[in-house]
Structure formats: structure tokens, C-alpha cells
Chain A
Amino acid sequence: QSGLTQSPSVSGAPGQKITISCIGSSSNIGAGYDVHWYQHLPGTAPKLIITANSNRPSGVPDRFSGSKSGTSASLAIAGLQTEDEADYYCQSYDRNLGGLVVFGGGTKVTVL
């Protein structure tokens, strides 16, 4: 089984903490491959917000955090802000795909 599964949508009020899950399998996340997370606002290029499971690139607020366990990974956004409303994608390598990379289906975050 290949591919990464994300919930289609998550919502929260300003200031709340939300968590986005990325469920993989033994051929990708479970095999130990890194998970990366991107924020994608309409009409703009995706932005890397978490690299190698839990590392924030320079300039990314510490409200964003990532973790990985077993065959899944999670992105948490604490202190939710209106500008966090976007689509979020996880990405990993999958050995069942002949050495290729796969994105999750994306999660739409809505700030209520």
C-alpha cells in the first residue's frame, strides 16, 4: 500500500491548537523516511514549514510543530491565527513507488 492519507479539513477558533494527521504505511513513514510539511495559500507557491519530521526552517513561527510516530506523522498549529487559513500537505518518500515521492491529499484549515 502506497500513499499518504490526510483528513480533508480541520477547523478551529483563533488562539486554539489544532492537529493535522498524515497516515502512511510500512513503505513510507513506517519505513523511517522523513516527513515534510507545506503550507499552501491560494495563488501562491507552497511554503515549507516543517522539514525532516520536526524541524522548522528559518522564519517559520514556533507555533508550528511536527512529530512522527510509527506509520503516521502530525502537524500541530498552536495559537491559531487567521493567516494560518490555508491548505497543508505532508510529503514523504515511498519505496513501493520505485523510489518516488508522494504528497498527502491535503488538509484545508479553516479559522472560525
Chain B
Amino acid sequence: QVQLVQSGAEVKKPGASVKVSCKASGYSFRNFGITWVRQAPGQGLEWMGWINTYKGNSKSIQKVQGRVTMTADTSTSTAYMELQSLRSDDTAVYYCARDQSGWGSLDHWGQGTLVTVSS
């Protein structure tokens, strides 16, 4: 069965970086992209970006552009999302999800990773 398993919770200070992993299993990793979504406390879902796991190209929202790096390691079927220059408003649960096209539906999700940014 399709599974996406994310790395554990992180606590970071403002200005630091965090790297969240998302290990996929149960399907051909290269055939589907990975979307990253986050939810800040008390807020709704925010689509952050998407990576084509086969070609390696990605796109992201303006709010995190220049601070986010999305990568994919096809040898281990793992996607990564690194967010730099962390701010308090980056505190959120970060989810990875499978998305073939980059604008389609997200049919399988990781369990979520809580990233807390606090001094």
C-alpha cells in the first residue's frame, strides 16, 4: 500500500534551518510528484510547493521563495523540504503528499511533522 512517512518533530530558533524528509513506499516514486502543505496553529491548509521527483524541478509560493529548497532522492524514494531563515510564523505542521501533476489532487499524505520556531 502507498505510504508516506515523515521525519519527527523539530524545534528551531529563529534564523535557523529545518529539513523535513518524506519517505515513500508502495508505488513508483518517479511517477508522482510530491507536494508540501503546511498548517500553522489555528489556521487553514497552505499549499507551499511541488517537486517533480523524476526531473527535479520545483515550484513554490512567493511567501517562501528564496527560503525553501525541495529535493528528491530517487535512490531512496525520499523527498526533502528544507526551509531556511526560519521565523516564528513558520511554526506549523508540515505535510508531504503525492501529486502526479503539480496541480492535481493529493491522494496520499504523510503523517505530518511539527516544526516549532521559538527563541
Contacts and interface: CB of A to CB of B under 8 A. Distances in A.
Contact of A93 (B45, B60, B103, B112): B103
A34 to B, nearest CB: 7
Interface residues of A, number: 26
Contacts, number: 60
A105 B105 contact: no
B106 A34 contact: no
A89 B103 contact: no
Contacts of B35: 101
A45 B95 contact: yes
Contacts of A57: 107
B26 interface: no
Interface stretch (A9-17, A46-54, A74-82): A46-54
Contact of A45 (B47, B103, B109): B109
B59 interface: yes
Given A45-B110, A89-B45, A101 B95 contact: no
A46 B109 contact: yes
Nearest to A43: B112
A64 interface: no
B7 interface: no
A89 B39 CA distance: 12
Contact of B103 (A47, A48, A99, A104): A99
A91 B110 contact: no
A69 B95 CA distance: 30
Contacts of A46: 37, 45, 95, 97, 106, 109
Interface of B: 35, 37, 44-47, 50, 59-61, 95, 97, 102-107, 109-112
Interface of A: 33-34, 36, 38, 40, 45-48, 51-52, 57, 87, 89, 91, 93, 97-106
23 contacts: A36-B104, A38-B106, A40-B45, A45-B112, A46-B37, A46-B45, A46-B106, A46-B109, A48-B105, A48-B106, A51-B104, A52-B105, A57-B107, A91-B106, A97-B61, A99-B102, A100-B47, A100-B61, A101-B102, A103-B37, A103-B45, A103-B47, A106-B45
